[in-house]
Amino acid sequence: MLSTLLLNTCIAAFCKCRRLAKAEAVIIDGIRLGVLPDVVTYNTLVDAYCRIVGLDEGYSILQRMREAGITPDVVTYNSLIASATRKRLSSRVLDFFDEMLQAGIPPDLWSYNTLMHCFFKIGKPDEANRIFRDIILSDFPPCPTTFNIMLNGLCKNGYINNAIMLFRNLEHHRFVPQLITYNILINGLCKARRLRAARKTLQKLGESGIEPNAITYTTVMKCCFRSKQYQKGLEIMSLMRSKGYTFDGFSYCTVIAALVKTGRVEEANSYMEKMTTNGIELDLVSYNTLLNWYCKEGDLESAFKLLDEIEKGGLECDQYTHTIIINGLCKAGNFESAQRHLETMNVMGFDSNLVALNCLIDGLGKSGQIDRAIRLFDSMEVRDSFTYTSLVYNLCKARRYKFASELLLSCVRDGMEIPKSAKRAVLNGLRGLGLIHEAKNLQSKIRMARILR
């Protein structure tokens, strides 16, 4: 006899492997046999539609639910809130929260955890912190996930010292860190270039008796590549392969991107082959990695062919995809197409693209169009250290050291770091022109700016 429990198990299984039509068919079969869907059935569907199709489609299940005489519960809304959070749609998150309260459904700890995650994700750590304090002071005892979200949010928003403190406090509160907790902190420390602390945390993980997983290894491997320890990074990849941890595209993309970046395209190619022959389904990030590899090779024809393939396959290109293409066009000296592509991005509703503008600045400078690069620089509302570095280097190349020196100083005064090599290029240039006093002056001004900030 088919029961609702069995029906729900069956539907959950189909949803998990993204077969929504099958899941719907099971519901219809169930109704025919007299087994009616319940709130769990619909909640499973809401979550699946949100993940696989989209937030609006997930929300439309709510209507179907009501028509079937079933009242949504806190789980229904939590799924919607989580989906809006994943998409960074903060106003939708707040709307769902309101709607839930209006419907008389009290939020639970999961709702607050997700809300906290949402605030971190949209770069509002103070708001997230407020929710965290509310949870601590409320009747809900926080759960490990609450701390994990907090720890991750602190790391991602640049509060690494607070994250370290929270981790220590966890131990004081006898909250045993989970593997996910270690992974969050190790990743945060690696990204903040606190390598010694990362190593210590990794050691602690080993002492705890928990086995590191694929995520731990990918994190550490990426950190090796970032700190130019390529051999060590590749050794970790071999280790991962022998342990069977290369079952998805994450490790491959990390390795391939690192090799492409350093110009080792042949080796990148061999990993690309390994990835495809191992039957790993390519997702957008893998395609982006592949696309970047074509661009680096200067094979724009294949890149555009791949772009077509991605879109025909039903994947939606993202900011990375377009930026990689723009960078490829710049490297090929086709600035008009690059600029057109950037404008198309704006029309498509993407936010202004600082990375792409930086690619344009650098490309223009390198191709000798320094004045055009300066005009673009002047027109930019937001600039970062890449913007300054590119222009400073290219001004040096054009022997305009005085201008380069002014830019270098305003970069440091704005609190941004610039590579030592860029600073050296300016100082050597000034000295080369016999402007010894100016060079000394620049050095002391940079020192002063660093002290004052």
Partner DNA sequence: GTAGGGTTAG
Nearer to DNA, 34 or 266 (CB): 266
Q: Considering only residues 204 through 243, tell me which ones interact with DNA, judged by CB under 7 A.
A: 213-216, 218-219, 222
Nearer to DNA, 7 or 149 (CB): 149
Nearer to DNA, 214 or 409 (CB): 214
How distant, in Å, are the alpha carbons of 80, 90, 107, 155, 327 from that of 115?
A: 11, 9, 10, 17, 36
338: burial class by Cβ within 10 Å (0-12, 13-18, 19+)? buried
Q: Specify whether the backbone of 209 is left (phi greater than 0), alpha (psi in -120 to 50) or beta.
A: left
| Cβ at position 307, least distance to DNA in Å | 13
Helix ranges (H only) for 158-194 are 160-172, 179-191
Contact call for residue 201 and DNA (CB under 7 A) = no
Q: Considering only residues 250 through 269, tell me which ones interact with DNA, judged by CB under 7 A.
A: 250-251, 253-254, 257, 260-261
Contact call for residue 8 and DNA (CB under 7 A) = no
Contact call for residue 384 and DNA (CB under 7 A) = yes
| Cβ at position 36, least distance to DNA in Å | 19
Distance of CA 179 to the CA centre of its chain: 20
Among 273, 308, 309, 318, binds DNA (CB under 7 A): 318
CB 310 within 8 A of CB 287: yes
Q: Considering only residues 170 through 189, tell me which ones interact with DNA, judged by CB under 7 A.
A: 178-180, 183-184, 187
Distance of CA 144 to the CA centre of its chain: 23
Q: Considering only residues 16 through 75, tell me which ones interact with DNA, judged by CB under 7 A.
A: 43-44, 47, 74-75
DSSP code string of 321-338: HHHHHHHHHHHTT-HHHH
The DSSP secondary-structure symbol of 68 reads: T
Among 234, 288, 341, 377, binds DNA (CB under 7 A): 288
CA distance linking residue 286 with residue 278, whole number of Å: 14
Query: Could you tell me which stretch among 57-65, 162-170, 281-289, 339-347 binds DNA (CB under 7 A)?
Result: 281-289
CA distance linking residue 93 with residue 6, whole number of Å: 32
| Cβ at position 436, least distance to DNA in Å | 26
CB 121 within 8 A of CB 82: no
Upper half-sphere CA count for residue 386 (Cβ side, 13 Å): 13
Q: Considering only residues 320 through 349, tell me which ones interact with DNA, judged by CB under 7 A.
A: 320-321, 323-324, 327
Nearer to DNA, 290 or 439 (CB): 290
Nearer to DNA, 35 or 329 (CB): 329
CA distance linking residue 4 with residue 36, whole number of Å: 7
Q: Considering only residues 424 through 453, tell me which ones interact with DNA, judged by CB under 7 A.
A: none
Nearest in space to 242 (alpha carbons), one of 270, 277, 214: 214
CA distance linking residue 174 with residue 245, whole number of Å: 31
Query: Which residues 6+ apart lie within 8 Å of 433 measured at CB?
Result: 401
Among 129, 152, 157, 405, binds DNA (CB under 7 A): 152
3-state helix, strand, coil in the chain (%, to 5): 75, 0, 25
Among 355, 398, 409, 449, binds DNA (CB under 7 A): 355
| Cβ at position 375, least distance to DNA in Å | 18
Query: Could you tell me which stretch among 229-237, 244-252, 266-274, 344-352 binds DNA (CB under 7 A)?
Result: 244-252
CA distance linking residue 7 with residue 12, whole number of Å: 9
Among 7, 72, 100, 114, binds DNA (CB under 7 A): 114
Query: Could you tell me which stretch among 62-70, 102-110, 126-134, 332-340 binds DNA (CB under 7 A)?
Result: 102-110
Query: Which residues 6+ apart lie within 8 Å of 420 measured at CB?
Result: none
Contact call for residue 405 and DNA (CB under 7 A) = no
Nearer to DNA, 290 or 430 (CB): 290
| Cβ at position 434, least distance to DNA in Å | 27
Nearer to DNA, 417 or 440 (CB): 417
In sign, the C-alpha dihedral spanning 121, 127, 130, 135 is negative
Count of positions on this chain that bind DNA (CB under 7 A): 77
Query: Could you tell me which stretch among 58-66, 124-132, 284-292, 395-403 binds DNA (CB under 7 A)?
Result: 284-292
Among 41, 58, 59, 79, binds DNA (CB under 7 A): 79
Nearer to DNA, 385 or 441 (CB): 385
